[in-house]
Copies of this chain bind each other. A is one copy, B any other.
Amino acid sequence: MGDLLGVAVLGAGHMGADHIRRLDRVVSGARVAAVADPDAARAKEAAAGIEGVSVHREVESALDAPGVEAVLIASPGPAHEEALLAAFARGLPVLCEKPMVPDSAGALRVLEAEARLGRRLAQIGFMRRYDTEYRRLKALLDDGRLGRPLMLHCTHRNVSSPPGFTSAMLIDSSVSHEIDAARWLLGQELTAVTVLRPRSSSGAPEGLLDPQFVLFETDGGALVDVEVFVNCGFGYQVRCEAVCEAGSARIGDDHGLLVTARGSAGTDVPQDYLVRFVDAYDREVQAWVDATRRGRVTGPSAWDGYTASVVAEAGVRALENGTRVAVDLAPRPELYR
């Protein structure tokens, strides 16, 4: 097991448990070495069934556990600063869920601590940068084909907000994703912000200002507007349209990257089956490995393989003869019923 990266996961709530599952069963090359949560029972449950993992109440104890080579911070935001500084002190690489640190003073302390180290240890969990559609949009903006970006129109809608969600959280929890995405897509810093407040939806909890319309200006002269509406009722929608000097590009409408330029609006058609089906191949092999490790066989069977051969042969005869050809299968063995 020495070859796999040993990760300590801090926080075993919803997000932490999901990352533990991911490190254990989805990601290649890592293993969960330690789990920490003030609620020890929760930590224990999240770590159940994982070989060689240790369970902890305290952050420091988890970071010092045997086999820990890296840290994934998924505890509540207010606990991040202490955890990041502890990881820095040990020289451990960190993946820290957003927000890095909720208040900017604490965020600055973390920034300065890492800067003093003189090398980067932390990656912040802005996961949209890893979304296929966002990456295609970023690549398009970077290749310069559409010219300089002038505006980003963003939409961020949730079905409903969780209990205790405040008007400020529409900005610092929801729109914070757009804050990072806009900076990343444009390669520019945001310099000013204005928030407009239409009359709130009757679907929003009493007193919550929802929706809001947020406008950012950038140091490159671009404008970013964000509709944030966390009680829209109908679905989770994240969209972004980049309007550039020579075209616009839009993601988030369930049709990949829609580009409008030179008189036409369209999407790319893949040129190769590997592009179209790369994820299917990955899932196929993962499913096979998972089943095989559990001693099971699932997926298409030898009967499926045999049948395909028989039908294909009939098809070739039909092609050659120009007639209808019946498919003649051997009886189906018991094993495949």
Contacts and interface: CB of A to CB of B under 8 A. Distances in A.
A22 B278 CA distance: 10
Contacts of A283: 130-131
A175 to B, nearest CB: 6
Interface in A267-310: 267-277, 279-293, 297-310
A159 to B, nearest CB: 6
A254 to B, nearest CB: 5
Nearest to A264: B266
A167 B306 CA distance: 21
A199 B236 CA distance: 32
A201 interface: yes
A175 B72 CA distance: 46
A127 B191 contact: no
Interface in A299-337: 299-316, 318-320, 322-327, 329-330, 333-336
A291 to B, nearest CB: 8
Given A235-B269, A313-B104, A26 B23 contact: no
The count of identical subunits is: 4
Which among A24, A255, A311, A318 has the greatest number of chain B C-beta atoms within 10 A?
A311
A142 interface: no
A94 to B, nearest CB: 9
Interface residues of A, number: 185
A90 interface: no
A63 interface: no
Contacts of A246: 203, 233-234
A236 B316 contact: no
A299 B171 contact: no
Given A153-B153, A312-B175, A26 B282 contact: yes
A1 interface: yes
A195 interface: yes
Contacts of A297: 93, 119-123
A207 B210 CA distance: 38
Given A125-B284, A194-B323, 7 more contacts: A18-B274, A130-B281, A132-B279, A235-B270, A237-B260, A254-B267, A265-B269
